[in-house]
Structure 1
Amino acid sequence: MSGFFAKWHPAVIVIVSGTLFTRAAFFMTMPFLAIYLYSEKGIDPSMVGLIIGISALTGTFGGFFGGYLSDRIGRVPVMTAAIFTWSVVFIGFAIADATWHFFLLNMLNGLCRSWFEPISRALLADVTTKENRLRVFNARYFAINVGAAIGPVVGTQLGTSSSTKAFYITALAYLLYALLIVVTLKGHASELARGEEKKFSMKSALRVLVNDKVLAFFLIGNTIVMMAQSQMDTTLAQYIGNAPQFENGVKLFAYLVVTNAITVLVLQFPVTNYINRFQPMNALRFGSIAFSLALLGFGLSTNWIFLVISMIFLTVGEIIVFVMSDVLLDDLAPEHMRGTYFGAMSFRSIGFSAGPWIGGMLLSTFGFEHGFYVFGCLTLISLLALPFFQYGEGIRKTLAEQQSAST
């Protein structure tokens, strides 16, 4: 870590370090939100799914606009505005009571996340050489999962599924992160602006995105994969917390979240080093298969051992999809539209939005006693991502061959 801090740009250090602490705070609260809404507020599972899913829906278009805006006016101002607002949102979660309050707050939560996350990744790419970007994206993802390993354990101790005090702690963590960004990066404004192009319009940005067929197939496939990944914090949380075959379900789910994080810490670099030998789109197909196997495993599990094994499969898929998606987008994006392209990835949030609702409907239909039917249906849906990644890779190869022949 000392070598990491000595080598990289201050923006990389701030984002990676801040990501670790804010994600620890985030995972103290948000993985337990579905359980909190159901058990403490008495909200129906399908309605809980809608509340959780609305976050991703607002982020779908918000991320593209935020990425475009960061290319126009700068990364740091947009990031700072988003994270200050994010801090206020977590205070809102602590004092909210009515169902519509949670809808509104989670809408803002999704908007803040869709602005901050892709812009921070674009900023990392701006200040890092191309050959080092995979390493930096890995470091950021590693920090996320260190936080994810710490947060649920603390959240369990704080009783987040039935208490609101962890939301105040999360709000404070995000406020401190915002202040750190402002203070640390203030002296690098002109340097950070070099990666930003201010001369293209929203119309021209949309035209480029619409005509990029590889990006289109990637986004559709990724949307389906995100539908599978979204089940962890919503459908799986409610299922394990309430299914009669699992004792101490809330604590068991917390340990599964920790398993997810620890597996990333152990396997992230071996998996990414291995998968990097494949074309990004093919790697995404492997990740999609891992997600499908994980969902099927959750439906078949009757004890904690099989749940842990299934979570490991889900984690492997998560590692591949999250890291390789950034690599693919960086390859596809023109230099002056990097923020717009990374923002366009927010369109996959349609999967994050639809996934919790679909999972909630399946739970309401089949009940907590019939996990196989719930997760079996989700497995079949998640497999639909495979042909889109295959088509996208085919187009990518054709374009590469045409470009090679023309030169």
Structure 2
Amino acid sequence: MREGMGMNGFFAKWHPAVIVIVTGTLFTRAAFFMTMPFLAIYLYSEKGIEPAMVGLIIGVSALTGTFGGFFGGYLSDRVGRLPVMTAAILTWSAVFAGFAIAEYVWHFFLLNMLNGLCRSWFEPISRALLADVTTKENRLRVFNARYFAINVGAAIGPVAGTHLGTSSSTGAFYITAAAYLVYGLLIIITLKGYSAELKAGEERKFSIKSALTVLSKDRILAFFLIGNTIVMMAQSQMDTTLAQYIGNAPQFENGVKLFAYLVVTNAVTVLILQFPVTNYVKRFQPMNALRFGSIAFSLALLGFGLSTNWIFLVISMVFLTVGEIIVFVMSDVLLDDLAPDHMRGTYFGAMSFRSIGFSAGPWIGGLLLSTFGFEHGFYVFGSLTLISLLSLPFFQYGETIRKNLSAEHSVSTQERSLHT
């Protein structure tokens, strides 16, 4: 297709599914970050739920998302991508409305389970749909556009949430529900005529059994996943332990507003540093780069515990974001290196196990807050720092095994060349 001039030419270049998903992602992510980062503060401050239970409520979405994603993938093969996406997004809208009217602990627990389930159905299938309708040479550009939209939404949403008082009221949840409802209706109306074109492709599906088989045979992958799971425990503290701590610690004035700007700092730092950091760390072996990312997470957590003003909090958030960029990018690079061509789907599917860290992390952080209190951030985040550092030996073991296998392969190659 020939490129047109101006914005009309730009939009004419892409399939309608790309335009709908990227635009919808921008607005729904802004709405999402207007509410969900403040949920932990809301549950503690307004509903009086203990920090450990708040951690369980927040963490359960990652757990249900991990296992719910398998069923969502199966359904998308059986009935097509579009019906599953539509059902997920409309249910997601109802979930946010539910947060606005929920009263009891079990309400929030159930709603966040559904939140994780809807996300695990909608997000992977929408990415697969983007790949379905985009040529291979344009996919990176489309995925970058989606990732950019996510981070723009993450920069806008927390500021709006602060002004709407999301940490103490429920109005913003209705706005978020409306945004997801509009997005769902837009998908139905705009893409209805393309349903035959958007049917699921023939894909190798990931199963728990296949992942366990791979893990039992690939020691490098096993050590990587254990280390990565521990790192995810550290990364998960941002929306739970850190949110509750900043929002309630006596040493911070306007803690809710301060936390909102920390979330914005995270999003803006990703936008600014994503490509420079990625280009720099790609010169290292992936397992070594992951160690750098783990150290960055640990320094960030320690910084949160030592901070007494917003300047050090912002610096710590920058370190956390750098660690986030390194870990997420280099994890994909490492898996691509490790995976045989015919098992790439299974290897990438095995990454779902790291969601165990995302699920357990908020609960561990909540227990530490309950134990030490909001006045003793150093003990809370110092403990989390030590947990985060536990990932380093696993990455080291994995790298050692990789080097040994590489050396053995080199020797066997030389021996074969001598015999020929």
* TM-score, normalised with respect to structure 1: 0.87
Give 1:11 deviation, angstroms. Answer: 4.0
Q: Deviations over 1:2-53 (max 9, x none)?
A: 5875655544443332222111000010111111111111111111111111
- Supply the AA of the counterpart residue of 2:161: G
- Flag the 1:198–1:138 CA change in 2: closer, same or farther, 3 A: closer
Q: What aligned pairs does 1:34-113 form with structure 2 within 5 A after superposition?
A: 34-70=40-76, 73-113=79-119
- Flag the 1:66–1:51 CA change in 2: closer, same or farther, 3 A: same
Q: What aligned pairs does 1:7-406 form with structure 2 within 5 A after superposition?
A: 8-70=14-76, 73-126=79-132, 135-193=141-199, 195-197=201-203, 207=213, 211=217, 213-329=219-335, 343-393=349-399, 398=405
Work out the CA distance in 2 between the residues paired with 1:191 and 1:213.
Answer: 41
Give 2:3's aligned residue.
none
- Flag the 1:382–1:200 CA change in 2: closer, same or farther, 3 A: closer
The answer for unaligned runs of 5 or more in structure 1 is none
Q: Answer yes or no: is the 8 Å Cα contact 1:231–1:359 preserved in 2.
A: yes
- Supply the AA of the counterpart residue of 1:292: S
Q: Answer yes or no: is the 8 Å Cα contact 2:232–2:357 preserved in 1.
A: yes
Work out the CA distance in 2 between the residues paired with 1:254 and 1:350.
Answer: 26
Q: Deviations over 1:328-384 (max 9, x none)?
A: 556666788777655543322211111111111111111111111111110111122
Q: Deviations over 1:68-92 (max 9, x none)?
A: 5445654433333222211111111
Work out the CA distance in 1 between the residues paired with 2:77 and 2:212.
Answer: 14
- Flag the 1:205–1:263 CA change in 2: closer, same or farther, 3 A: closer
How many residues are treated as equivalent by the alignment? 407
Q: Percent identity?
A: 87
Give 1:235 deviation, angstroms. Answer: 0.7
Q: Answer yes or no: is the 8 Å Cα contact 1:218–1:392 preserved in 2.
A: yes
Give 1:396 deviation, angstroms. Answer: 5.8
State the structure with bigger RCO (CA 8 A, min sep 6), 1 or 2: 1
Q: Deviations over 1:126-155 (max 9, x none)?
A: 555666655544433322111111001111
- Supply the AA of the counterpart residue of 1:97: E
- Supply the AA of the counterpart residue of 1:180: L
Q: Which has the larger radius of gyration?
A: 2
Work out the CA distance in 2 between the residues paired with 1:323 and 1:364.
Answer: 34
Q: Answer yes or no: is the 8 Å Cα contact 1:195–1:336 preserved in 2.
A: no
- Supply the AA of the counterpart residue of 1:21: F
- Flag the 1:204–1:34 CA change in 2: closer, same or farther, 3 A: closer
Work out the CA distance in 1 between the residues paired with 2:65 and 2:331.
Answer: 17
Work out the CA distance in 2 between the residues paired with 1:200 and 1:340.
Answer: 5
- Flag the 1:200–1:21 CA change in 2: closer, same or farther, 3 A: closer
Q: Answer yes or no: is the 8 Å Cα contact 2:80–2:200 preserved in 1.
A: no
Q: Answer yes or no: is the 8 Å Cα contact 1:86–1:112 preserved in 2.
A: yes
